[in-house]
């Protein structure tokens, strides 16, 4: 009959205890790795969202400033043209004064007899008739007379655009401008606007390149930060453990950081390609 060596039995029991302890440590290790991975993922997402929100804020601010500049330039361009059109509108209105319209049936049912134009203003006309003188709003006139007295019905003047902007009153009478000079002025204004548009477009291209360059720097900074976090996560996985952690388990603990780093690298490639494309559109 074979006898079991008590020493071997005791050693086997000790080994069994060690195996059990190692299994417990392995389970704790896997639990800690999962927690570290989840926390690292959450932190990385928060950092990414913060940088993206900051970048979007700066872009919106830049776009607003650009629009404000365009608005100011538009006002400066429209004002002299609007003044010129106002001069001709006044001439046309003055030309209508004294014209006889005969009998006029208004839209409210009234009929004015022996009508003569006394004054044409913005939105209304003063008519002299057999019963006296009346100021009639355009909407009460027949359609053909509305068209007759409304010279720029669909045009928005700069008055509505600069209603809240204080303007020094010009007391000098408007200068007489011929049709040829008016056409020349408009052509020059259109050419100047085309040049301003081209300049603004070139400036927008340069701003886009600068913005893309800043985005690349932010992405490179994120890659550097993610690399440090990945190293810290890998060190945390192996810290204080009695058994060697497999490469697969280490990669599992850092998979989230690897994904974010590769994603940032792809975005850098896309932005660099866009910069090269924009450069071809610059003079």
pLDDT (tens digit per residue) in 162-183: 443 444 444 444 455 555 666 6
Exposure pattern of 159-170 as b/e (b: 16+ CB <10 Å)?
Answer: eeeeeeeeeeee
Choose between 190 and 272: higher pLDDT. 272
How many Å separate Cα 5 from the centre of its chain? 83
Per-residue confidence at 112, pLDDT binned at 50, 70, 90? very high
Domain ranges, ordered by start, for the chain:
97-156, 176-283
Average pLDDT over residues 20-35: 80
Q: Does domain 97-156 have CATH number 2.40.30?
A: no
Predicted confidence (pLDDT) per residue in 215-262, tens digit: 999 999 999 998 888 888 877 777 766 656 667 767 777 888 888 888
Strands of the sheet containing 100-105, edge to edge, are 100-105, 111-120, 124-129, 132-137
179-189 burial code (b ≥16 CB/10 A, e <16): eeeeeeeeeee
Q: Which tokens go with 123?
A: 């939105």
pTM assigned to the model: 0.38
What per-residue confidence (pLDDT) applies to 186? 66
What is the C-alpha to C-alpha distance for residues 36 and 40, in angstroms, rounded to an integer? 6
- The predicted pLDDT at position 161 comes to 38
The rounded mean pLDDT for the chain is 78
| Band (152; pLDDT cuts 50, 70, 90) | low
């Amino acid at each position: 009959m074979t006898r079991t060596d008590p020493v071997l039995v005791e050693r086997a029991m000790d080994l069994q205890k060690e195996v059990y302890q190692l299994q417990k440590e392995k389970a704790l290790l896997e639990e800690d790795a999962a927690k570290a991975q989840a926390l690292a993922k959450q932190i990385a997402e928060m950092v990414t969202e913060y940088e993206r929100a900051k970048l979007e804020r700066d872009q919106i601010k830049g776009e607003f400033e650009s629009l404000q500049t365009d608005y100011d330039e538009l006002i400066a361009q429209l004002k002299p043209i609007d003044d010129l059109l106002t001069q001709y509108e006044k001439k046309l209105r003055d030309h209508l004064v004294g014209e006889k319209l005969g009998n006029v049936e208004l839209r409210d049912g009234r009929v004015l007899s022996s009508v003569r134009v006394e004054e044409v203003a913005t939105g209304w006309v003063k008519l002299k008739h057999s019963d006296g003188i009346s100021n009639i709003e355009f909407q009460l006139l027949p359609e053909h007379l509305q068209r007759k007295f409304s010279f720029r019905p669909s045009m928005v003047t700069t008055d509505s655009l600069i209603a809240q902007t204080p303007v020094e009153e010009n007391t000098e009478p408007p200068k007489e401008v011929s049709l040829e000079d008016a056409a020349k002025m408009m052509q020059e204004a259109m050419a100047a606007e085309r040049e301003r548009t081209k300049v603004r477009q070139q400036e927008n291209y340069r701003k886009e390149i600068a913005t893309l360059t800043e985005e690349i720097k932010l992405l490179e900074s994120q890659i550097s930060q993610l690399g440090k976090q990945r190293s810290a996560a890998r060190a945390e996985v192996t810290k204080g453990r009695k058994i060697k952690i497999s490469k697969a388990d280490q990669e599992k603990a850092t998979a989230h950081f690897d994904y974010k780093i590769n994603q940032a690298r792809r975005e850098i490639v896309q932005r660099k390609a866009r910069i090269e494309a924009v450069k071809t559109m610059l003079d």
